Structure 1
Amino acid sequence: MIDSFLRYISFEKRYSQHTVKSYQNDLNQFEQYAQQQFNISSLSEATQLMIRSWVLSLMDEGTSARTVNRKIASLRSFYKFLLKRESITKDPTQKIKSLKVKKELPGFANEEEFSTFLDRLVFEDSFEGKTEQIILELLYGTGIRLSELLGLKVSDFKSSESTIKVLGKRNKERIIPVSKRLNELLKNLIAEKNHVFSHDQNSYLIVNKNGGQAYPMMIYRIVRKYLNQVPSLDKKSPHALRHTFATHLLDKGADLNAVKDLLGHSSLAATQVYTHNSLEKLKSVFDQAHPKA
């Protein structure tokens, strides 16, 4: 039953491997709990009471509200699938409410500090060093997600147009412009990659030292290695660079809709969270400069 659902979201909905794995973990966890606590033989037998009991147990264990909500969402999608397939007659998640989550503002680096940090960075004059530089420059210079970075192919980079083609969530493609500096860095990396490994336009842009596709922990390790030098950045992660990219654009007066398109958001609501940071900066300037402030 779980396997059928996972195949559905993998091949029909075309969710990423990371997302599919998250669904699998959540469903397996609930299945194990329901079997141990209520002795059910199939998830089709689960009830609203069982799900609420599981949610309470997660909260007692100290699981964050955000994580609990993700697990509830996994169950909702699963039972919606079963209902559609007529494997069940009633959705047990129908009256399960998500927990209230305190809205956290995205963490980002101070613009002046981050600019100085980038200018002072020194990378090894090797393929690995060039790769590390491109990873940082791409994440901050384009605001792409970790999964999008990992999926970039050599053929997605168009040097003559100074653009990269990104495959985002729900397999939506978007074209992102790159700066002259980043354009040159990408050309140099590809030339070095072709020298070290076989020339293949369909190969991945970011690879490990053996030429294989890069993986999430590799990117996290490289990003943390350098971002530890940025005190104003609380979270040293690839996503923090995405937040920094968006905040710096808006601080410079970029159009909100343009930033939305660059980030690959489906609606403005997801992008508007960054405007708070810009408003705080405006308020600070107002308080310091206005005679009646």
Structure 2
Amino acid sequence: MVANDTARLLMELETIAATLIPNADIPKLKLRFEEVTNNYNVDRKTLEALENDFKDKVDFYLSALRIEGYSEQTLQGNRYDLMAFSGFVNKAVIQVTTADVRKFLASNPKWVSGTVAKKLSTIKAFYKWMTAEEFILHDPTAKIRTPKQEKRLPKAMSPDELEMIRDACETKRERALVEVFYSTGCRISELSGMKTAEIDWRSGSLPVIGKGNKERIVYLNGKAIYELRKYLSEREFEEDECEYLFSTVRRPYKQMGTTAIRNVINKVASRVETSKKVTPHVFRHSMATNAINNGIELGDLQQLLGHSNPSTTLRYTMVSEERKRNAHKRFVQ
């Protein structure tokens, strides 16, 4: 087996040399390679070892992202996609080809373009890091373009639909959740991480931790402050000592996770007859769209929403028919 492994190594080195050094004297290089390998016992890794190689490299990569401040939710999503890719190709990281990546992306006909783009983005980022860290010399994703995606406009609630959601709330916690979601325009993970002690009641502000572990200040309007005070007074009566703004309803009281928050919003939305699917993120879209309609500056909205790229905020100007209609009345005489 050692002789076969040595021959295979020499063949692969010859192929790499021919690829990277087009004008090289391959016969002479081959002789030099043989001289060097004669001093070593060559033992090719087993399939099991190759499989473990991918997992180890993914662990290294995610550790680097964790140090850079990426959230655990993002890290777990990356791990899921990368290990699914690993299981599909069943190869070591260095053996993956461009064709392997394309086959994986085309392996599930149920994946829409957005799903394919997300998985490709994850794999691209991983191999870009692997190349930068010099674990590998060639990035198999470099030639693969991100698929075109259908531009979907954010689906914001109308003022009437928002009032219907408010009326459908049956508990103080539900009402507080709805108002804080709408007032702050926060992502669900940001709302889950809010802490009661960090609220500045005088200014109606509190800090949240957004994407990339970046902190920003968000604001509570009058309705949000009113409903929050009622909800928190109820918790004090029940001796709920959880430090997080929204807690579970049973002892031991603890932070509401994103799944629990999503379930509450789904329960409230199920009581309302509307064609629009109401999710936690819809409150974010609704806050942004309403702010645009009321004349907010894009730079201010970008800061409130925590967008790192202004173009992400700019999409809200495309969805506001009311804003276009008012602009037409104002400027087209």
Q: TM-score band, normalised by the shorter chain?
A: 0.7 to 0.9
Partner of residue 241, structure 1: 283
The Cα shift of 1:83 comes to 1.7
Q: Gapped runs of 5+ residues in structure 1?
A: 124-128
Aligned runs of 1:42-191 on 2, under 5 Å?
Answer: 42-58=92-108, 61-111=109-159, 113-117=160-164, 120-123=167-170, 129-191=171-233
Q: Secondary structure at the match of 1:181?
A: helix
CA distance in 1, matches of 2:244, 2:183: 19
Contact 1:108–1:233 (Cα < 8 Å) also in 2:
no
Paired with 2:152 and 2:240, the residues of 1 have a C-alpha distance of 45
Question: CA 1:43 to 1:119, structure 2 compared with 1: closer, same or farther past 3 Å?
Answer: closer
The residue that corresponds to 2:83 in the other structure is: 28
The aligned residue for residue 65 of structure 2 is 9
Per-residue displacement from partner, 1:127-168 (whole Å, max 9, x unpaired)? xx2222111111111100001011111122111221121111
Whole-Å Cα distance in 2 between the matches of residues 266 and 19 of structure 1? Answer: 16
Residue of structure 1 in register with 2:308 after alignment: 266
1:232 positional shift:
5.1
**Identity value in percent:** 28
Contact 2:165–2:269 at 8 Å: present in 1 too? no
- Structure of higher CA gyration radius: 2
Cα shift readout 1:234-280 (whole Å, capped 9, x = no counterpart): 222100110011111111122222111111111221011111122x2
CA distance, structure 2, for counterparts of residue 136 and residue 195 of structure 1: 22
Mapped to 1, the partners of 2:122 and 2:94 lie a distance apart of 15
How far apart in 1 are the matches of 2:237 and 2:197?
A: 17
Q: Is the 8 A contact 2:183 2:287 kept in 1?
A: yes
The structure-2 alpha-carbon separation of the partners of 1:254 and 1:286, relative to structure 1 and needing over 3 Å to count, comes to closer
Amino acid at match of 2:144: I
Maintained 8 Å contact 2:174/2:268: no
Distance 1:88 1:286, change over 3 A: closer
- 2:318 is aligned to 276
Structure with the bigger RCO (C-alpha within 8 Å, sep 6+) is 1
* Aligned: 1:204 with 2:244: yes
Residue of 284, 288, 297 corresponding to 1:255: 297
In 1, Cα distance between the equivalents of 2:177 and 2:303? Answer: 21
Report the CA distance shift for 1:28/1:102 in structure 2 as closer, same or farther (over 3 A).
same
How does the TM-score come out when normalised to structure 2?
0.76
Aligned pair count?
274
d(CA) in 2 for partners of 1:52, 1:116: 47
CA distance in 2, matches of 1:248, 1:16: 29
Q: Following TM superposition, by how much is the alpha carbon of 1:90 offset from its aligned partner in structure 2, in angstroms?
A: 1.1
Change (3 A) 1:77 1:283: closer
Shift of 1:206: 1.1
- SS of the counterpart of 1:57? coil
